[in-house]
Structure 1
Amino acid sequence: MLKLIKNDVITCEELLKQYVAGRKGQVRAFAAEKLVFDGVGPKDVYNITAPFEDEGELVIAGRVESRDSEHSEVIFFVEKEGKWVPREGAPVLVLQDPFHTRIGGELIVGGVQIYPHPEQTGALMWRTVFYRGSRIADLELFFTGPDGMKDLRLIGLPDGGVGVFTRPQGEKGGRGQIGYFRVPSLDDLSIEGIENAPLLEGQFIPEEWGGANEAHVLKNGLIGVLGHTACYDESGDRHYYPMVFALDPQTGDISDMEVIAVRKDFLPGQAKRKDLRDVVFSGGLIRRKDGTAVIYAGTSDAEAQRLTLPDPFVKFES
């Protein structure tokens, strides 16, 4: 198996420098496209999943909300005549930022649930929830994560276990760091296990944060993680960048993070707020046999796009 070498913490600024340097003199297959959604009125659709198959049909789950609100729904969309429209009869989940995976033959769908903050009047709190079923129509809630934790992700491991990526904030995790642990099965998920998961050391400085968005089992048994790394600038504007790294589930070793795209690689568009103009939220990634991949993402918290780029996980498999 490839030996993973982790160096010192790399800041967003340094990651961007590496990204720009890596593109100089190289021909990289970048092609961006906005996805068109219909059937949801004037609401925005963003922070989408990559398409996945359900009952023989490709489906995308997307965050749907009004421009001036944080209260959203997750709607399942199918493509009709070049537009993505709500799937007839599919459930609508009162969540943000959907994600999906398959474990043991079951479809797992999750997202972020918001609710009134128990101590701060007018503020919101959040947690990650998970649904499971043989298909979208059969999804049932089966696990609710710790209060205050977004970006919980699951991955089925080759040995039959389940890898769990966490993202605590506060006393443990600061603004948000990635943790990882393993459980024997979905039925072994617990709040205690998630809260006690060790952090992946050396990924973020205290002023910055990030999270896992999707995990892929690579052909050599490593886990390829698609995530985001984020920071504020001096004006308080947010900057979110899609990134990847690899993890050895046997040893816990990780590679350095690598930024794989930036906002200007996507098409120009609208933003929810001025401070969100440079935000790309990784939703999911489809790997292709020709050495390219397609990342599906929310841009500027207002639109959904996909971008074709070199497969960022190939180097971890070589």
Structure 2
Amino acid sequence: MVLKKGEVKTCSMLLDEYRKADRKPFLPSKLQFAGVGGKDVYNITAPFEDEGEQVIAGRVESRDSEHSEVHFFVQLGETWVPKAGLPSFQLQDPFFTRIDGELIFGGVEIFPHPTIENQLQWRTVFYKGSNLRSLQKFFTGPIGMKDLRLIQLKDRSIGVLTRPQGKKGGRGKIGFTRIPSLAHLTLEVIEEAPLLPGQFIDEEWGGANEAHLLSNGLIGVLGHIACFDHQGNRHYYSMVFALDPDTGECSDIGLIAVRADFLKGPAKRSDLVDVVFSGGLVRKPDGTADLYAGISDAEAQRITIPDPFTIFEKGGE
């Protein structure tokens, strides 16, 4: 399938398009968490099944800290509580997928910079197992790379979404490559993955948060696009695009949610008020989808939106 690609669209252009389209999300709600000592829970995954129960992974963190743990929560009435007996991980921004029948779980690991005092570095780490209780680390990504994602494709090969920064990726651009199996996942493969063309201007950045295999074999990418304003405040928007794993072609980015679509609430810092960090998308048979997101680096919310991937499965532009 040929995916039509236009000009590079800035955050401002995408916001204009989103407002004119007037496709407003509905049913916003806050997820309530307990059992974490009063800490914030944000940048959650969508719910996924583990041992017959729906589980959400969430970033648990004090308001004045960047040092977080990921816990796994189950729903008890209207509240999500840590599931007894499951491990926690010293990670940020959890994610999951399934490959060859196994659960793949990961997040961002931060650690002290080896030469610069009071500076941190980060990398994406991956675990796998038959369930959450059996997770074992199997891969550590390149230093300095967040938003590294995997997806199993129709032919059982693995799509790899990358996000280099610096000389290759600037503030952060999305790359893609394909490998026959997890055994072929290496640092070299990730670092050599070509960037997807024409997605971000150099002053802005983005990343993939979750990948969906669409019915026609395309990859539906849920992600974020972000920018700074003149005051240094960050603006993060939830976006999607489709990617053809056979050709590397991708569609234009389109916004699916902005901060104003969600309920009002606190922010971790004053520069993080306008932040929506895409967590996960649950597609539903009625043509809608539930978007789970971290809001203002302080809480987790869910909204219902028109399924943003249907148009790509129908072959629309």
TM-score relative to the length of structure 1: 0.98
**Equivalent-residue separation in structure 2 for 1:133 and 1:127 (angstroms):** 21
**Equivalent-residue separation in structure 2 for 1:42 and 1:270 (angstroms):** 14
The answer as to whether partners of 2:242 and 2:251 remain within 8 angstroms in 1 is: yes
Choose which of 275, 282, 287 in structure 2 pairs with 1:286: 282
Choose which of 241, 263, 273 in structure 2 pairs with 1:267: 263
Equivalent residue number for residue 148 of structure 1: 144
The residue matched to 2:32 in structure 1 has which SS? coil
> Which letter does structure 2 place at the counterpart of 1:22?
A
Q: Report whether the alignment pairs 1:304 with 2:303.
A: no
Equivalent residue number for residue 187 of structure 2: 191
**Equivalent-residue separation in structure 2 for 1:115 and 1:230 (angstroms):** 24
Measured after TM superposition, the shift of residue 164 of structure 1 is 0.3
Q: Report whether the alignment pairs 1:276 with 2:268.
A: no
Equivalent residue number for residue 20 of structure 2: 21
The residue matched to 2:167 in structure 1 has which SS? coil
**Equivalent-residue separation in structure 2 for 1:147 and 1:119 (angstroms):** 14
The residue matched to 2:21 in structure 1 has which SS? helix
**Equivalent-residue separation in structure 2 for 1:73 and 1:29 (angstroms):** 30
Equivalent residue number for residue 119 of structure 2: 123
Equivalent residue number for residue 205 of structure 1: 201
The residue matched to 1:260 in structure 2 has which SS? strand
> Which letter does structure 1 place at the counterpart of 2:21?
G
CA deviations over 1:169-227 (Å, ceiling 9, x no partner): 00000000000000111111000110000000100000000000000011111110000
The residue matched to 2:257 in structure 1 has which SS? coil
The residue matched to 1:198 in structure 2 has which SS? coil
Equivalent residue number for residue 252 of structure 1: 248
The residue matched to 1:114 in structure 2 has which SS? strand
The residue matched to 1:137 in structure 2 has which SS? helix
> Which letter does structure 2 place at the counterpart of 1:210?
G
> Which letter does structure 1 place at the counterpart of 2:263?
L
**Equivalent-residue separation in structure 2 for 1:246 and 1:143 (angstroms):** 26
Q: Report whether the alignment pairs 1:75 with 2:74.
A: no
Q: Report whether the alignment pairs 1:110 with 2:106.
A: yes
The answer as to whether partners of 2:237 and 2:258 remain within 8 angstroms in 1 is: yes
Equivalent residue number for residue 295 of structure 1: 291
The residue matched to 1:163 in structure 2 has which SS? strand
The answer as to whether partners of 2:25 and 2:303 remain within 8 angstroms in 1 is: no
The residue matched to 2:231 in structure 1 has which SS? coil
Measured after TM superposition, the shift of residue 8 of structure 1 is 1.2
> Which letter does structure 2 place at the counterpart of 1:221?
G
Q: Report whether the alignment pairs 1:8 with 2:14.
A: no
**Equivalent-residue separation in structure 1 for 2:285 and 2:291 (angstroms):** 15
Choose which of 195, 218, 221 in structure 2 pairs with 1:225: 221
**Equivalent-residue separation in structure 2 for 1:185 and 1:7 (angstroms):** 33
Q: CA RMSD in A?
A: 0.7
> Which letter does structure 2 place at the counterpart of 1:109?
F
Equivalent residue number for residue 214 of structure 1: 210
Measured after TM superposition, the shift of residue 119 of structure 1 is 2.3
Show structure 1 runs of 4+ deviating over 2 A: none
**Equivalent-residue separation in structure 2 for 1:149 and 1:143 (angstroms):** 13
List gaps (5 residues or longer) in structure 1: none
TM-score relative to the length of structure 2: 0.98
Equivalent residue number for residue 53 of structure 2: 57
**Equivalent-residue separation in structure 1 for 2:10 and 2:77 (angstroms):** 43
